[in-house]
A = this chain, B = another copy of it.
Amino acid sequence: MATGRPHRPATRSRGIPEATVARLPLYLRALTALSERSVPTVSSEELAGAAGVNSAKLRKDFSYLGSYGTRGVGYDVEYLVYQISRELGLTQDWPVVIVGIGNLGAALANYGGFASRGFRVAALIDADPGMTGRPVAGIAVQYIDELETIIEDNGVSIGVIATPAGAAQQVCDRLVEAGVTSILNFAPTVLSVPEGVDVRKVDLSIELQILAFHEQRKAGEASPPAAPASIPSGPGAPAGAVVRGRDDAEVRAEARAGRDGDPGDDLPAVMPA
């Protein structure tokens, strides 16, 4: 999950619940698949199955969009695809820039689901001069000095940050300053942005840690790691304990003032052959 958005105003008149918005892309994907197979209609049960949710939730979700189904029959696939696309704003074209063309940036640039659905990669930007001009996914990488020009010339409002953690806040500031109002952040840092700018975060290591938590529970079903109210040894006791975290990428927050590039760190550049 991604978090980090500034907190939506309490008065959400006429609005669709966040949880529902987050599921619309799921429905859209399932519907698109049905559409490709020329399936004309689908029941809430079937569609829910394909999207990996339960049917009650799906119906509730759709009820926020309006009454697009037919009782006793189901939903018209094409019509729903259109309605959801429109609701998500995918009927218009969204130019995006990707900053930080390491392996991850390259993966994003090549990602099919990115290029379709109304998202157009307007530019790839990297702080390493050695990357400049190099084609990735058929697009020549541009030097970071061009950032402001690119944003303004293309009317970019969505930026993707795939830089090392240390560069993320600076890149973010420049994006926002240049007019970007939505940011998808892959760097393991908390970004601070002014009011009105949305940030969504995708953190690879956090997801793994959550899995580890549950995995641990499975293993020692009888003996969970228990946090007893009676603390055996007071604070400071296990000082240099088993805790790892050395050479850790995201702990580089201190020297955030440095250069704006520093590629090949936690999210290293594409291997240069």
Residues on A lying within 8 angstroms of B by beta carbon are 1-4, 14, 21-22, 24-26, 28-30, 32-33, 35-37, 50-52, 64-68, 70, 76, 78-79, 81-83, 85-92, 94, 96, 102-104, 106-108, 110-114, 116-119, 136, 157-158, 160, 181-184, 188, 190, 196, 198, 200, 202-216, 218-219, 224-229, 231, 235-239, 241-251, 253-254, 265-268, 270-271, 273
Contact A205 B78 (CB under 8 A): no
Contact call B273/A91, Cβ cutoff below 8 A: no
CB neighbours of A207 from chain B (8 A): 2, 184, 200, 202
Name A229's contact: one of B67, B157, B211, B245 (CB within 8 Å). Answer: B67
Contacts of A216 in B (CB 8 A): 88-89, 92
**What is the interface of chain A mostly: helix, strand, loop, or mixed?**
mixed
**Chain B residues near A267 (CB, 8 Å)?**
107, 110-111
Q: How many whole Å from A219's CB to the nearest CB in chain B?
A: 8
